[in-house]
Amino acid sequence: MIDALFGSKTRVKLLHLFLNNPGKSFYVREITRLIDEQINSVRRELSNMLNVGIITSQTDDNKLYYEVNQRYEYYVPLRAIFADEQVEATKVSQETKPKQAWLAGLAELPGIRIAIVAGVLVRGSASGVDVLVVGDVPATKLKAAIKQAEKAEGRELNYTLMPYEEFYYRLSVRDKFVTEIINGKHKVLVDTDHILQ
C-alpha cells in the first residue's frame, strides 16, 4: 500500500532507513546492502530525495554520505509514518508551538534574560538557529530543557547560549548572527529588560 502511495519500493525502503536513523549517515554501498536493492535504483532515488530536500549529503574520506534532513518541513509527519517506533506527530500548528509546555519550562530557566525561538519552530523562519538563550543559564539545565524540547518536537534542535553582555554588544553593532535572527521570523519568549521591543 505505501509502495503504491510513494511510487517506488526503493524510495519507501530508503525513507524507512533514514527516518528510523536520524543523525546517522550512510554511504551508497552500505545503503544497498541494508535495503537489499540495486545500486542504480538506490542512486536514482537518493538523487530524487536530495532534490526534494528530505536528505542531505556530505563527502567524508572520499565517500559520499547521506542522512535525513531533520530541518525538512515535513520531517515530523514523515517520521510518524515511517518510523518503527511510535512517534508523536504534533497536531499543534507551527504558529501555536511557542505555547507548548516545554517552551514554558525553557522560559523559566534560572538566569535567563532573553529567549527567542526561530528556525524549524516558527513557520517561515529561515534561521539556522532554533533557540537562542541569553543570560547566565547553567549549561546542564539548558541541555536538559533542549533534550525535552527535541523529544517533544521529534527532531534535533540547533540552539545557542550567549552571555547577556555579548548579546547586547552584538545587537548594538548589528552583528550578522544576531540581526539575522531578530530581522527574520521569530518569537520572543523572554525579554526581561525589554531591549527587543
Number of domains the chain contains: 2
Q: In this structure, what CATH number is given to the domain that contains residue 26? A: 1.10.10.10
- Residue 108 sits in the same domain as residue 182: yes
Mind listing the pLDDT tens digit for each residue in 147-177? 888 888 878 889 999 999 999 999 999 999 9
Residue with cell 508523536: 88
Strands (E), 118-175: 131-135, 159-162
Containing structural domain, residue 71? 2-82
**Same domain (yes/no): 106, 51:** no
Domain end point (choices 53, 82, 111): 82
Give me the amino acid identity at 136: D
* 197 falls within a domain: no
Between CA 15 and CA 22 the distance in angstroms is 11
- Whether residues 125 and 183 share a domain: the answer is yes
H-state helical runs in 53-95: 75-82
Q: Which helix (H) or strand (E) holds 188?
A: strand 187-191
**Does residue 182 sit in the same domain as residue 119?**
yes
- Residue ranges of the chain with per-residue pLDDT less than 50: 1, 89-99
68 and 140 share one domain: no
Confidence (pLDDT) at 112? 92
Q: How far apart are CA 120 and CA 154, in angstroms?
A: 11
Q: How far apart, in whole angstroms, are the C-alpha atoms of residue 130 and residue 132? A: 7
Is 89 part of a structural domain of the chain?
no
Phi and psi dihedrals of 181, rounded to 5? -70, -50
> Quick one: pLDDT at residue 90?
45
φ, ψ at 51 (rounded to 5°): -65, -35
Same domain, residue pair 104 and 75: no
pLDDT of residue 100: 66
Q: What pLDDT is stored for residue 134 in this prediction? A: 93
Asked if 168 and 102 sit in the same domain, the reply is yes
- Sign of the CA dihedral 100, 103, 107, 113? negative
Considering the domain architecture, whether residues 12 and 77 belong to the same structural domain is answered as yes
- Residue 170: all three cell numbers together: 552584538
Same domain? 71 vs 140: no
Residue 174 lies in a domain: yes
With the C-alpha atoms ordered 170, 172, 176, 178, is the resulting torsion angle positive or negative?
positive
| 101 and 70 share one domain | no
